[in-house]
Homo-oligomer: A and B are copies of this chain.
Amino acid sequence: MKTKKVGIITIGDELLIGQVTDTNSTRIGQILGKEGIRVLRKWCVGDRAEEILYALHEAEKMADLILITGGLGPTKDDITVKTLSEYFGAGLVFHEGAFANLSRMLEARHVPVRDMHRQQCVLPSNARLLDNKLGTAPGLLFEEKGKIWVSMPGVPYEMEYILEHGVMPLLRDKGFNQGFSQMTILTAGLGESEIAHRIEPLIEGMPEEISLAYLPSLGSVRLRLSGQSSDPQALANKIRHFGDIIIQELKHHVCGTGDGNVSQMLGQVLRDGKLKICTAESCTGGSISRMIAEIQGASDYFEGAVIGYSVDSKKEILGLNSHILESAGIVSEQTVREMALGACRLFHADLAIATTGYAGPTGGTEESPTGTIWIAAGNEKHMITRRISGGMDRIRNIERASALGLLLAWDWIRQYGKL
C-alpha cells in the first residue's frame, strides 16, 4: 500500500530567532497522526521570498501534501501570498467572496475596513479559499500536478480551525487515511522500560503490520498500537486483540483508552463516582486547577481551588495551623496534607489535590532543596502523598508536579473512591 507523504513548511523570522516556539507543526503532527497520516519532513524558513521558494521546491520533491503555516495576515511582512502566486505562475486576483467574509467579520468586531484588508483579499488566482471562522485570513488550497498545498495563517487556533474543518475532510476524501487503525492506552505509574519488560513477551506474536509506540509524558505513558492495511477491519480486530492483552497485564495502571488526557480520564472517574474535587496549590500556582477546568463539563465535579501563594494566605484561607507550618515547614508532607484537608473543608469536596514546594530556580532549604515539591491527594479518611525532587527548571517543575497531582487523585479514586 502506497502511503501518502506529508511535508510541513513553517514560515517566520520569529521561529528562527526563537521569539516564538513552533507549536503549529506539533499540532499538525498530532491531528494528522490521529488518522494515521504521518509527517515526513519539516522545513522552517524566514519571511523572504527566496527562502519560501527554497522550502516549496524541496517539499514538492518528496511530498503529496504540503502544509504551510505562517506569513498570512494583514501587514506587510506577509509575503507568503506573493511567493505562492509566483511559485504557481498564477496571477494575483481580488477575491470578492473573501472580501465579503472579511468585511462581515470586521464589522462584527467594530473594526473599520481599510485598504490593507482589501489588499488581504488579493490572492493567487488558482487558490481555493478555506473558511477561517476565527480570523481574517482564509486558508489557501492549491491542487496542482497531483499534489496538494495548503497555506494557513500562523495563529495557532486559526491554523487548527482550518486544518480540522477545511483540510482533514479533503484528506479523508482523497484516501490519505486509508486502512489506518489504531488503539491507544493511557497508563500511569509505570516507566517506559517497566511496561516494555512486562508486555513485550506477551505480544511476541503480534503481526508486523502493527507497530507499538511508547509515548511517555510526565508520570504517564501512552501506548499506541497502529497499522495500515488493505483490510482495515481485520487489522482493527487484531489491534483490539493485542490491546486487550496489554490492558489485562497492566491492570490498574491503565487509566483508559482513547485520546483523552489525564484530566479527561480523571473527570470521567469523578463523574462516574459522583465525587467532587478541589485543589489547594502553592508552587503549581493554579496549574492543576486549570487542567481540571479545561475539560468540558468540569463544573459537574470541580468545586474550585485556593492558590495560597503567600504564607498568610495559606494560613488564613485554608485554616492551616501556624504551629504545623512552623514545625514541619512550608514545604513538608504535613503541610501538604493540611492544605488538602483545608481545601476539602472549604469546598465541601470529597477529595482535594494539594501542592507545596520550591519551583525554582531559586529558593529551598538544606532539607528541601530547589525543586522539592510535596503533593497530596485525598481527604480526612485517606490521603496519598508523594515527594518529588526536580531540578532548577521552574516551568518543568510546575508541569511535572501538576501532572503527578492529577495522577495521584486518579490513583486515590481507584483505591478509595468507592468507599
Within A19-33, the residues touching B (CB, 8 Å) are: 19-23, 25-33
Residues of A contacting B: mostly: mixed
> Contact at B44–A41, with CB atoms within 8 Å?
yes
* Interchain CB contact under 8 A, B398 and A75: no
CB A369 to nearest CB in B, in angstroms, measures 14
Q: Is the CB of A304 within 8 A of B309?
A: yes
Interface residues in chain A, defined as those with a beta carbon under 8 Å from any beta carbon in chain B: 13-23, 25-33, 38-47, 51, 54, 58, 73-77, 111, 114, 116-117, 133-134, 155, 157, 184, 191-197, 200, 211-216, 222, 224, 226, 259, 278-279, 281, 283-290, 292-294, 296-299, 302-310, 312-313, 316-317, 346-348, 359-362, 391, 393-396, 398
With A45-B41, A213-B14 as contacts: A294 and B290 at CB distance below 8 Å: no
Q: Is B45 in contact with A16, judged by CB distance below 8 angstroms? A: no
Min CB–CB distance A314 → chain B (angstroms): 8
Q: Which of B116, B194, B360 sits near A193, CB closer than 8 Å?
A: B116
For the complex with contacts A111-B194, A117-B193, A293-B359, 19 further pairs of A-B residues with Cβ separation under 8 Å are A16-B29, A17-B30, A17-B38, A18-B28, A18-B30, A18-B32, A18-B33, A73-B216, A75-B192, A111-B191, A116-B193, A285-B286, A285-B292, A289-B289, A296-B361, A297-B362, A304-B308, A304-B313, A306-B317
When the two chains form their complex, are residues B45 and A43 in contact, meaning their CB atoms are under 8 A apart? Answer: no
Name A27's closest neighbour in chain B (CB-CB).
B18
By a CB distance below 8 angstroms, the chain B residues around A194 are 111
Residues of B with C-beta under 8 A to A39: 16-18
Contacting residues, chain B, for A308 (C-beta < 8 A): 304
Inter-chain CA distance A157–B306, complex, in Å, is 28
Q: Which residues of B contact A134 (CB under 8 A)?
A: 391, 393, 396
Distance in angstroms from A177 CB to nearest chain B CB is 14
Q: How far is the CA of A346 from the CA of B76 in the complex (A)?
A: 48
Q: A308-B304, A313-B304, A346-B317 are in contact. Are A14 and B215 (CB under 8 A)?
A: yes
> Across the two chains, which residue of chain B brings its CB closest to A214?
B75
Complex Cα distance A201/B296, Å? 46
Q: Which 8 A-B residue pairings sit nearest by Cβ, starting from the closest? A: A285-B293, A18-B29, A286-B286, A286-B289, A18-B30, A305-B307, A42-B44, A74-B193
